[in-house]
Structure 1
Amino acid sequence: MTEVVPGGGLRTVGFPMSKADANPDLWSGAEVSDDQIRALALGAYYCRSWGAYNDTVAFTPELAGSKETRQEATVEGLHDAWGVDNADDARETIRRLLAGMHAPLFTLIHPLAAAASREAYRPDRSSIANGHREFLQVLSQFRGYDNTSGLDRDYDAWLQAIKLGITDGLPQPLNTDATAWDLARVVFIARSAHTAGYLDEEEAWTHMLAGLEIAQQHYRNWRQFGSGFLTGAIFWAATRDLAAAKEQVGERRRMLSALHSRPSSPWRRVALHPGTPVFGTTPS
């Protein structure tokens, strides 16, 4: 049985993250290349929360005692969390993630909100924040956003997250490249769509390897990638529910820390870049 979790993923109910982190990561022993392991490892966070193998495209093995098969769970999850019901839906979602679904919004909004958070309170409308809102409202109209999804609303949510100290729990200095958040979900969608029967394995690999190429352009190691993922995840959550975002910081940090430290983790098996140290222990 599964439940939808923030970020469009799924968590296996009855497989708590704290307990999962005490257990070794799962490997089937499949013959895959290092680059294929790297591509899958972009989505290691979701692989772990699903209790799945780190070297298969499909979410396997089946979970003992579950009332749903993996295929049933992914069909349900893709529909409920992503509105994906077929191959074309999956391809379009992956295309948008590869092009940048939420990372570009963070790149735009964070510097503005960070600057406004440092400004002393001013009761008039000449504050820097009001100037930012007016700019973002115009940009939202230009991009065709409706009144419920304007950039100024995301800006206000992130500004509050900064002022409330929610971002203090993120790696510092704050990673302003949240591309990893989108790329991890490329892997999640590709694996889910294959498990659901929408995409064949070859096509799923094509999408995931495209994500790997982008990740290698943006990050030096898994530590940087993990920081980008966490930053993007909390930004996404904050634009929807500040209380939930606050709760997620610790949980997601623990999951990522375990991916860096467990000997069985895919992030300890291969480096993000061939020929570089496996342990990404240098500061981000």
Structure 2
Amino acid sequence: MTYQAMLDRARKFERQGRFGEAAAVFADAAEAMRAHGDWTSAVATQARCARALAAAGRTGEAQRMLDTIDRTAASMPVEVRAGLDAQAAHIMAAAGRTGEAARRAWSAMSGFWSLHDAKRADAAGAHAARLIVKDAGPRGALLPLRELLAQMPPGGDGHRQVTALLADAERRPDRDHDVLVTDPDTAAWGRLAAALAVGAHLAVGNGVAWNTLTDPDDAAGDRVLLERDWGVTDHDSWREQTDALLDARNSDPAIQMVLDRRVRGRDRRVWQAAIVDWCRERDIADETVREIVEMSELILRYESRFRADGILPPDGLVESVYGYDFGRAVNMARWGLGAGYCEAEEAEKCVLTAGQRANQVYTSWRSFSAGYILGRMLRFDDGEFGEWYERSLTGHRVLAEDPDSPWRRMAWG
């Protein structure tokens, strides 16, 4: 197999999210290049191998390989060192060394500009800018972003991207959560974007881009989150949790049962009598029946507050909490892809399924948001109207009112 064929195969594995296999092929290609005395190509390919290892979660191995490559490349031409810096930025970011990653990306940009390679310089500069924002936060990133922009010739794609990131940082509040972030390099419209917007509540809450599934610089964080909060450590456990969310089986089924017993209107007694009848038909214990009826009272309290705060219209009711599971399913797909537990095609299919099922249950972004928030409140807030509620309300208002919000730019369904 020729070098090019090996590299093409490795890149195909990368596009499919099969990073471990990509790393193995890159390693074989680098070894073949060294055997033929092509040292500069071998260094570049070994750097790609290290990046693939990092994307596969093997960050320790990737960093050790990077250290070796750095020593080898110290006396090599600027083109080799610039390419190595570009790959090193991804490796260090995956290992959580975001500040160092930003510096390597910046160095790569400078090297590529010295070679008059505008395309790669733009890509490295935009990567450096994103890493700076991630490392320092929007406010802390203002000065370095301005300095970076000053080193980029106007008119190029990289200059445009960094300008957009700087403008976003300047108008964002001094916090890294409860803010709308849109990836300028990814489509913010279309079928996939509309489905991704179903997961926008969590994206806004976490301060991450709502319109992309990929964040190659936080693979380690995705794996930690999945294991800590979901018990997910591999593809099978990720798939199990994802399917439960897509089937709306993660939330307490009693909530939806209670909502389903209500006919249109607000007659509390009729509704609660229907709940009791349903429970009696199934020989449910009296204590449990009382708890379920109390849940209906709590739902009424939340709906009243939702109407007062504009989450629901003046006569609005919540008809389903399935949206809470569908919204989290979108983010589960994002985390699973980032952690390397699924391929991009599988993650996108999960997102599209979540969007389709949300469209079948709800009639608008507003009704979806109300269902999502109620599901979240009944799990975490328990009628306190505390921080969980305030942050959810903030997220709703950002998505409902910001002119750049996908909920403002795309029709429901």
Tell me, yes or no, whether TM beats 0.5: yes
Question: What letter corresponds to residue 106 of structure 1 in structure 2?
Answer: I
CA offsets 1:171-190 (integer angstroms, 9 cap, x no match): 35321212211100110111
Question: What is the aligned counterpart of 1:235 among 349, 369, 378?
Answer: 378
Q: Which residue of 1 aligns with 2:257?
A: 108
Identity, in percent, stands at 23
How much does 1:44 deviate?
A: 0.3
Question: What letter corresponds to residue 87 of structure 1 in structure 2?
Answer: H
Question: What is the aligned counterpart of 1:254 among 388, 394, 400?
Answer: 394
Question: What letter corresponds to residue 225 of structure 2 in structure 1?
Answer: G
> 2:408 matched to 1:271?
no
Counterparts of 1:83 and 1:199, CA distance in 2 = 16
Counterparts of 2:256 and 2:242, CA distance in 1 = 20
Q: Do the aligned partners of 1:133 and 1:152 also contact (CA within 8 Å) in 2?
A: no
How much does 1:99 deviate?
A: 1.4
Q: Aligned pair in 2 of structure 1 residues 113, 223: CA closer, same or farther (>3 Å)? A: closer
Q: Which residue of 2 aligns with 1:74?
A: 222
Q: Which residue of 1 aligns with 2:361?
A: 218
CA offsets 1:91-129 (integer angstroms, 9 cap, x no match): 1111111212227432212466999x945xxxxxxx969
Q: Which residue of 1 aligns with 2:232?
A: 84
Q: Which residue of 2 aligns with 1:9?
A: none
Question: What letter corresponds to residue 196 of structure 1 in structure 2?
Answer: A
Higher relative contact order (CA 8 A, sep 6+): 1
Question: What letter corresponds to residue 187 of structure 1 in structure 2?
Answer: V
How much does 1:264 deviate?
A: 1.8
Q: Which residue of 1 aligns with 2:305?
A: 169
Output the TM-score relative to the length of structure 2. Answer: 0.48
Larger helix percent: 2
Counterparts of 2:211 and 2:320, CA distance in 1 = 27
Counterparts of 1:22 and 1:106, CA distance in 2 = 27
Kindly report which structure 2 residues correspond to 1:189-204, keeping only aligned pairs within 5 A, or say none. Answer: 189-204=332-347
Q: Which residue of 2 aligns with 1:96?
A: 244
Kindly report which structure 2 residues correspond to 1:112-151, keeping only aligned pairs within 5 A, or say none. Answer: 118=268, 131=276, 135=280, 138=283
Output the TM-score relative to the length of structure 1. Answer: 0.67
Q: Aligned pair in 2 of structure 1 residues 112, 71: CA closer, same or farther (>3 Å)? A: same
Question: What is the aligned counterpart of 1:179 among 322, 340, 351?
Answer: 322
Count of paired positions:
234
Moved more, 32-41 or 102-111: 102-111
Question: What letter corresponds to residue 108 of structure 1 in structure 2?
Answer: M
Report the 3-state secondary structure (helix = DSSP H, G, I; strand = E; otherwise coil) of the residue aligned with 2:326: helix
Q: Do the aligned partners of 1:169 and 1:250 also contact (CA within 8 Å) in 2?
A: no
Q: Aligned pair in 2 of structure 1 residues 226, 220: CA closer, same or farther (>3 Å)? A: same
CA offsets 1:103-160 (integer angstroms, 9 cap, x no match): 7432212466999x945xxxxxxx96995696498459xxxxxxxxx96586266246
Which protein has the larger Cα radius of gyration, Structure 1 or Structure 2?
2
Question: What letter corresponds to residue 226 of structure 2 in structure 1?
Answer: L
Question: What letter corresponds to residue 214 of structure 1 in structure 2?
Answer: R
Kindly report which structure 2 residues correspond to 1:19-38, keeping only aligned pairs within 5 A, or say none. Answer: 19=175, 25-31=181-187, 34-38=190-194
Counterparts of 2:371 and 2:348, CA distance in 1 = 23
Q: Which runs of 5+ in 1 are unaligned?
A: 2-13, 63-69, 120-126, 141-149, 274-284
Q: Do the aligned partners of 2:303 and 2:318 also contact (CA within 8 Å) in 1?
A: no
Counterparts of 1:111 and 1:24, CA distance in 2 = 33
Q: For the aligned residues, what is the CA RMSD?
A: 3.9
Q: Do the aligned partners of 1:42 and 1:187 also contact (CA within 8 Å) in 2?
A: yes
